[in-house]
Amino acid sequence: MKSLYAILAAALVLSVSFAVKVPLPVEHHPELDHNPDESSHRDYVRLLVEQKGLVMFVPSPGRKPLPASVTETMQAREGMTELPKGALDRSETHQPPLYYFLAALVFAITGGGSLLALRLVALPFQLATVWVAWKMGRDLFPNRAELAPALAAFVAFLPTQAQLGGAISNDAPTHFFCALIVWRLARFFAPHIAPPHRAYAWGEGALLGLFFGLGLLTKLTVLQLYPVLFVSCVLALKAKRITFADTIGVFGAAVLVGLALAAPWLVRNQMLYGDFLAQTIYKATGPNFSPSEISQMSGWTATDYLRNAGLRSFISFWCFLDPQLPTVPLARFIGSPVLLLLALGLALVPLFGLYKASKEKSIESVFGFAALVPLCLVPFFTKFLYEVFQAQGRYFLPSLLAVALVGVGGFAVLLKNSKAAFIPSALLLLLSVWQLVGGGYAAVR
């Protein structure tokens, strides 16, 4: 437990340091945001407090046109179809309300004057995610004491996650609920843990459904983990870890409970925007440029677009990049070459280690499960990139615990040394410190 307390303390210091160090959002100047969409998240919180309830999305001037049915509803409910100059931004008001209700409470208590207090709303969720990582390590590997602190340190020190833990954003709470889901699914593949059976199968499914439901009430991207649930059930069934009847119990309860909890928000989206997921309005929530528009502005070919989007997505998972970085030139767009080399090492070395162990048939099945989790997110992210240029690695953070498991396990297996499990977290801590001392987000402006 001492190692957990030490890592939690380090995570606390790191995320608070980001909250203090990163420049605060400037009123009516979202182009100066150093955290993703932070001004819009702040305005959503203010709107909840000032209007004492939920508000409908209304686009800022110059955004993509919306279907007539949506603009008619806007006019009827809000008395406008476009925000007037100087109005609070509503680009995030299509987001589910759980995080924003908590932030609104802090906003009201502090009199609305402390943006730092708003940033720290995400901090408990970051610390809770670190705890889940430690708990997963203890749960899955009771005989490998090094993996629990190594996993917790990975989550605590990943620069992107640490910075989002000190930002006005619903990302950190989302990643907490996703971490709970990944942990419970990973248990299916631990040989010393009894698989869900009979009434317990329905209970496990209901617990997963609770995490899915709360996650969906925080951010709808949690839906991406339902394919992970399906793949997990299929693999567990194939490995005879669970019966077909119990698989139905787990999967059915997880889907039904999760969607039942999220249903009020999904129904609201349908009523306001004409679809459950509010995708109808997404392109109007910001200056979201399509691949063709990006190509026209930058002169990129389709190959350039895919390469640059892939590079930025990859780098920005491992080390936070300022959301306002220009798309050209490429060197500034992806940051220092040191970032790329470190990220490649963090990603490829453990994969090689696990591949080598699989050839020697000396790898636990839970590592195979972990490697599949981020792959299940790839189709969603690819579809996203084909629609708008949002090359942000943070969209893979719902798979954070799985990536951490691959990272620490792969290094330990390859180097045949239990202490090697701490190599990823040591490198990530260096990257986080590098960000904080001015070599990261601020230096490239």
Most confident of 27-31, 90-94, 122-126: 122-126
Which has the minimum average pLDDT: 142-146, 307-311, 372-376?
307-311
Q: Do 391 and 313 meet the contact criterion of CB atoms below 8 Å apart?
A: yes
Secondary structure element (H or E) that encloses residue 261, with its range: helix 244-273
The CB density around residue 359, as the number of other CB atoms within 10 Å, is: 9
Using a 10 angstrom Cβ sphere, with 0-12 exposed, 13-18 middle and 19 or more buried, the burial of residue 49 is middle
Q: What is the pLDDT of residues 237-287, one digit of tens each?
A: 998 989 999 999 999 999 999 999 999 999 999 999 999 999 899 888 878
**What is the DSSP code (8-state) at residue 196?**
P
**Cα–Cα distance between 409 and 127 in angstroms, integer?**
22
Between 147-157 and 400-415, two packed helices, what is the crossing angle to 10 degrees? 130
pTM for the model:
0.94
Which has the minimum average pLDDT: 38-52, 69-83, 167-181, 375-389?
375-389
Q: Which among 60, 48, 335, 367 is positioned nearest to 186, based on CA atoms?
A: 367
Q: What is the pLDDT of residues 76-117, one digit of tens each?
A: 999 999 999 889 999 999 999 999 999 999 999 998 778 999
**What is the DSSP code (8-state) at residue 60?**
P
Between 171-186 and 199-216, two packed helices, what is the crossing angle to 10 degrees? 160
Structure tokens that stand for 262 in this block: 């999220």
- pLDDT tier, 152 (very low <50, low <70, confident <90, very high otherwise): very high
- pLDDT tier, 442 (very low <50, low <70, confident <90, very high otherwise): very low
Per-domain boundaries in the chain = 2-439
Beta partners for 26?
29
pLDDT at 293 over 90: no
